[in-house]
Amino acid sequence: MQGMTAQGGRSGESPISLSMLGWALHEEDNVAEHSERAKKSLVSLAFDFELIVIDDGSTNRTAAIFEEHQCTRPWLRFYRNAKKRGPGAGGQRARADHSP
């Protein structure tokens, strides 16, 4: 997998150097702020990074907003559970989706 640079471009052959994992449930009012705060933190720690967010069955616009944000934030990885499964299942999904 190729990494994403803080500027949003591909980093060549280097892997992601830092991944942040988070969960969302009915967070439509917080998506933009969370994404930007996470980016600021990740940029301060690594050049190549990704933010992985698992939506755990939100029934509001949380998923739609994250999907829109993926278009302009190539470092954002978004996954959605059809129903609430809890953080343990979200962590397992993130590991499975990011296995080499």
Digit-coded pLDDT (tens) for 66-98: 999 999 999 999 988 877 766 666 666 666 666
In this structure, the number of other CB atoms found within 10 A of the CB of residue 6 comes to 15
- Characterize 84-98 residue by residue with b for buried, 16 or more Cβ atoms within 10 angstroms of its Cβ, and e for exposed: eeeeeebeebbeeee
Are 81 and 54 contacting, i.e. CB atoms less than 8 angstroms apart?
yes
pTM of the model: 0.72
Which position has the token pair 């998506």?
31
Closest CA to 61 of 94, 87, 89, 31: 31
